A and B are shown apart, each in its own frame.
Chain A
């Protein structure tokens, strides 16, 4: 009947799980960008320029929309420790 493609499916599940784990550490923008790029790559996209063109506007646009709507997305612990803020 159908040939099932297990490998990309499992990799995507893993990518989502890792996204959930690193989300609060890396912050929305970095984590989302990495997740989208990883997802595109897992599904066989090999053109880095096109991948960035697809991922960047979506990530930044979503973030700006959330800022505009007043929904706070934490900047990420990595960023905070980098600028030396005390996030505790």
Chain B
């Protein structure tokens, strides 16, 4: 492990890569701060930039963009109550009241310290946990992967907010269906191409990510034109008293551990982690402190901030060790890895140790850079929030369209993006989550590959699904977990139906 860390240090501590960590954090913060744009859009917008780099540098940049975007999202949550990401919604609960009452600087500082502590602690856990898990998963076979991915996908719907189980499940299925477009790799048959050359390679994940996130998020901004809250940046004082710092230290450490553990779970990400941490701190607080929650409590701000950063880092564990993303954001990162020509999975730590370790080590530097760079500069960076929307939105659209065009040089892709963005916007308006779609799409190809390979290995028998002990366990989990969302949904519906019947009678 020490060797690995040294290797990572060696890769990261070059002028080039340090600059990329810095650039990633800075652009991530800028894009994440724009209300409505989250880390998925930020990463998708930056992927075309990384195509010229070697894979390790590309991943370092994208990881920087990821936690930069989370940090930027909390800034817009605090200052204008417009969370760019679901993961920072809980930040606005206490951050916005603090900013309203003239303590914007203190709120931003608390968010920065908590994010830093959460991210750094979680990086330490990552260093310890990732190699162990990678070691364990070296014994996995195609069949195990197939089951694991199935488990991951069903967990995504199981962890979605109540009443959205079926919607999340449907979006996963849609993603899986979209992933079958193009040439079938093992048989060479063309599927759903409608005889068009443009679809022979399938739909690129970058196109889908840009259309379903960056473009449709921009469309949502147009559709829901809310009056922007006035932004007062005159009195930003980031100093905190010693007592205040002392009071949030235990909160941060508890929330970081919680956040990391939740981040590791497939399907649960920064959003769930931040809400859980907020809830946990609320129930642990004394009565006087509890009254402050929601009205500008520093603890209520520190908890979700530490937790969502720790969860972001935690979500790298399944990505780097199993090659299975647990959230929409890590799915996009996985897509980037694949497009660099890297085979993600447990072999990553053996075959490409410099990628594995440099990403982890760069996270530590990234957190330091975010803290020392953003804390003093926040009042200036926040001026980005004052750019009028009418200028911002066409520019976002231009960057998304060009990001895709410059990879394929095919204007058919631009038309496809417009159509997908329109459909995605409608689905968003109807309350369908987009991240499961992306996850289903990216896992779809791998799911099929592994199933095919497993079936070939077992001579067409399907008994591998329950033969091997490792996945007998996971499959069991799968069986108990997967039907749950659907059952819960139908129960919900049944209850509602009964209630309505009673009312009618």
Contact = CB atoms under 8 A, between A and B. Distances in A.
A5 B418 contact: no
A61 to B, nearest CB: 12
Given A19-B414, A23-B414, A43-B390, A5 B222 contact: yes
A45 B398 contact: no
Interface residues of B, number: 30
Contacts of A12: 219, 222, 393-394, 397
A45 B390 contact: yes
B394 A4 contact: no
Interface in A1-27: 2, 4-6, 8-9, 12-13, 16-17, 19-21, 23-24
B391 interface: yes
Contacts of B52: 69
A52 B387 CA distance: 15
Nearest to B220: A9
B477 interface: no
B411 interface: yes
B411 A23 contact: yes
Given A36-B395, A40-B390, A16 B401 contact: yes
A9 B425 contact: yes
Contact of A20 (B225, B390, B395, B418): B418
Contacts of B414: 16-17, 19-20, 23
Contacts of A40: 390-391, 394
Contacts of A44: 390
B396 to A, nearest CB: 10
Interface residues of A, number: 31
Contacts of A9: 219, 222-223, 425
A31 B418 CA distance: 16
B59 to A, nearest CB: 20
Interface of A is mostly: helix
Contacts of A13: 219, 418, 421-422
Interface in B394-432: 394-395, 397-398, 401-402, 405-406, 411, 414-415, 417-418, 421-422, 425, 429
Contacts of B389: 43
A35 B219 contact: no
Interface of B is mostly: helix
A3 B472 CA distance: 51
B181 to A, nearest CB: 19
Contacts of B390: 39-40, 43-45
Most A Cβ at <10 Å: residue of B395, B417, B429: B395
Interface string B362-394: 000000000000000000000000001111011
B430 to A, nearest CB: 12
Given A9-B222, A12-B222, A69-B52, A39 B418 contact: no
Contacts of B398: 32, 35-36, 39, 58
Contacts of A60: none
5 contacts: A16-B418, A17-B415, A20-B415, A23-B414, A39-B390
Interface of A: 2, 4-6, 8-9, 12-13, 16-17, 19-21, 23-24, 32, 35-36, 38-40, 42-45, 54, 58, 62, 66, 69, 71
- A-B CB proximity, top 4 nearest: A39-B394, A20-B414, A43-B390, A45-B390
Interface of B: 52, 215, 219, 222-226, 388-391, 393-395, 397-398, 401-402, 405-406, 411, 414-415, 417-418, 421-422, 425, 429
